[in-house]
Structure 1
Amino acid sequence: MLEQMALFVSGQEGYHTYRIPSLLVTEKGTVLAFCEARKNGGGDAGDIDLALRRSFDHGITWEPYRIIADLGPDTVGNPCAVQDRDTGTIWLLLCRNAEDGHEKDILAGRATREVLVMKSVDDGETWSEPKDITSSVKLPEWTWYATGPCHAVQLKSGRLIVPCNHAVLQPEEERSGPYTAHVIYSDDHGESWQLGGIIGENTNECTLAELADGTVYMNMRSYHGRNRRAVATSKDGGLTWSDLVFDETLVEPVCQASVLSDGQGGLLFSNPASTSRERLTVQSSRDGGETWAILQELHPGPAAYSDLALAGDGAVLCLYECGEQRPYERITLARFSLRKEIHAE
């Protein structure tokens, strides 16, 4: 049975728009739903804070929402969380820029973009102050930078690995590009972070999962045309990556998406399965992303960004942007069974 609940509604609680959903289910089963709370408008820059709601019954009921990061008038966002299963610490990767640091100015080298990390040791009840890790994970010639946005992953090896993207400054042209996906990682339980492998150009907002054989599968927003997702794989925990391939069956409108290991040897994938930002759909693969089948259509109308997680009771959770007239009217949490019949389109 499909259950849906609006967790963040644009215009409520003193914020103009809520965007950029991110999910994490902790080892204790607590569901954490993050998003950007955009104070004065719907754009990607301005006074943007980070909001959180928690659920203790697998996403059925929720605590009131609260702001866990507010850097004054600056932009803080692109949440990407992971929990270290050995220590229990939750690490939340973020990005920051000045209130007037629009993406076009960052790409031109006129404004800066920083990489931050916060942590919680009590299942998301309290959070540390953001720590700047930019110098460890961003090269000097990079201008644009984004973590996720979605969730990060802890590999079987214990490595924490975070999907990211960047753009390189072309100083003579006062521009940057193309967008390019990469990862950052920690091998010391989140105490320090470093740059991992860089993937093919003309890709950005990316999402990853570890396959049963230890291969890291990366799925990326693509600027290569034909409205299809880009894919790469790594055999060494994200240090090096294969050449890009393009999944013709995963249609996209050039938008963010989410991929998740389903805990049964397969993959789940969510995105607006259309050439427009509409029809938020979850698909399933039993062969490492070689083929896909539709598992659940969540919203036939306008929809955009999403993130997937598995609840402690086995339900699939998808936190996604949607609305009736435009995709950014609310952020909704969907719950449904993984055991429902999968049907081909």
Structure 2
Amino acid sequence: MIAPRKSRNSIVARNEFAYQAHPHIVIAPDGTWLVVFNNTVRGEHTLHPPHDPRYRNMLTRSFDRGATWEPAEVVPGYEWSGVECAGLTVLSSGEIMLNQWQFEWIPLGRALSAQNQNTYDLPEAFASEMTDSGELETGPKIAGRARKFAPWARGKGRTVVHFSEDCGASWGQTRQIETAPYSGGYGLRGAVELKNGRLIMPLNDIPDYQRIFVVISDDRGRSWGKPIFAAWSADHLFTEPDLIETDNGRLLLVFRDDRTGHLFSAISEDGGLSWSAAVQTPIAGYPPHLIKTSDGRVLCTYGHRKPDYSIRGVFSDDGGRSWDVENAVCIRGGLPNKDLGYPGTIITGPGDFFTVYYCQDERGITGIEATSWSPV
């Protein structure tokens, strides 16, 4: 583990009455920096998007390279609540594409009176899911009284993309993506546009959170083909993938495994139509964000949810076949607990990076922070 040659921390968004987490960052064609993140009310116990219908995706913009940030706005509109983490894609057309998964939510009383209660997941299931994941301490704390803290029920949902023609200032067209036979499609890192203009977006099934697949568009996201299987194993729970095209045209897919706590990867040599078997990487942490550096390396940033609680980055010199974990960069260390992570990184200059992530401050308020840094 090494420290950056230089680093500076800053706040992107924080609200003492809100829980803000799970950011993603891109640079718009006009140079504006865009950060999308999750926002819900701050309560006695923390709930993440699969268990809270009050979540909305919010977008903040910076016109001065991260020095200041505009007040965050709900995207694409207030009718889009009960959502998972969102992803952004900058298209060669100059448009910005926002991808979302929106759960179907109904009041608990309505779910209990429904003729087919099996259609909905009830609060007891939420407590069990949170306990099994171990990501938060909430599950054991609300077990036996989950209906007091989560008086709602969760149904299925839909995968959608929205488009902005003014660098994220407003949002227009919406298109739904069919994900059958999978239960749904959730992705937090956007799509990759290949050299031929094709879009490939990695997703995981939801609410199962165990299978990885991709969808392909040949018309800038207005329509999407049938899902293509990428990764699954009975011994693992694969979720939250990211995708990058390496210099030789190979596609590298990296995703978290909730059984081992490690990142796994798969490779496609045919433009995403088929994928190699998933292999475990030496990276302990999640979820991944991938970028290609100016010197051809791949940088993976991720959250490390064990002491030292931290945001880390690791480089690969061979397109993701191996990772230099012995020289992993501690981008931001000394964080107070494991309620952290989901970093996203942009390149700001030769050898310079800007990484956004979420974490708690000294008051226990969870918000979006960032670190400008350069490796040694």
TM interval, shorter chain, is 0.7 to 0.9
User: Cα gap change, 1:195/1:4 in structure 2, threshold over 3 Å: closer, same or farther?
Assistant: farther
After superposing the two structures, state which structure 1 stretch, 192-201 or 24-33, moved more.
Answer: 192-201
| 5+ long unaligned stretches in structure 1 | 168-175
Equivalences for 1:136-175 in 2 at 5 Å? 138-139=179-180, 141-147=181-187, 149-166=188-205
Amino acid at match of 2:211: T
- Quick check: 2:95–2:165 contact (8 Å CA) kept in 1? yes
- Quick check: 2:241–2:254 contact (8 Å CA) kept in 1? yes
Amino acid at match of 2:156: T
Given the two structures, how large is their TM-score scaled by the length of structure 1?
0.82
Q: Could you say what secondary structure the match of 1:311 adopts?
A: strand
- Give yes or no for the alignment of 1:306 onto 2:350: no
CA distance in 1 between partners of 2:182 and 2:121 (Å)? 13
Cα offset for 1:224?
4.5
Return structure 1 stretches of 4+ with deviation > 4 angstroms. Answer: 100-104, 106-110, 274-277, 324-328
CA distance in 1 between partners of 2:266 and 2:312 (Å)? 22
User: Cα gap change, 1:309/1:224 in structure 2, threshold over 3 Å: closer, same or farther?
Assistant: same
- Quick check: 1:278–1:327 contact (8 Å CA) kept in 2? no
| 5+ long unaligned stretches in structure 2 | 1-5, 109-118, 127-152
**Higher RCO, Cα 8 Å, sep 6+:** 2
Given the two structures, how large is their TM-score scaled by the length of structure 2?
0.76
Q: Which has the higher strand share?
A: 1
- What is aligned with 1:38? 40
Aligned pair count reads: 318
Cα offset for 1:236?
1.7
Q: Could you say what secondary structure the match of 1:2 adopts?
A: strand
Amino acid at match of 1:95: W
CA distance in 2 between partners of 1:67 and 1:74 (Å)? 9
Q: Which has the higher helix share?
A: 2
Q: Could you say what secondary structure the match of 2:31 adopts?
A: coil
State which structure, 1 or 2, has the greater radius of gyration over its C-alpha atoms.
2
Q: Deviations over 1:209-268 (max 9, x none)?
A: 11110111111101452x3211101112212110011112x112xx42212112321111
Identity %: 22
Specify which of 12, 16, 23 is matched with residue 25 of structure 2: 23
User: Aligned Cα RMSD in Å?
Assistant: 3.0
- Quick check: 2:60–2:71 contact (8 Å CA) kept in 1? yes
- Quick check: 2:183–2:205 contact (8 Å CA) kept in 1? yes
- Quick check: 1:143–1:166 contact (8 Å CA) kept in 2? yes
User: Cα gap change, 1:313/1:54 in structure 2, threshold over 3 Å: closer, same or farther?
Assistant: farther
User: Cα gap change, 1:97/1:313 in structure 2, threshold over 3 Å: closer, same or farther?
Assistant: same
- Quick check: 1:59–1:335 contact (8 Å CA) kept in 2? no
CA distance in 1 between partners of 2:20 and 2:78 (Å)? 17
CA distance in 2 between partners of 1:326 and 1:258 (Å)? 28
Amino acid at match of 1:209: I
- Give yes or no for the alignment of 1:125 onto 2:164: no
After superposing the two structures, state which structure 1 stretch, 72-81 or 158-167, moved more.
Answer: 72-81
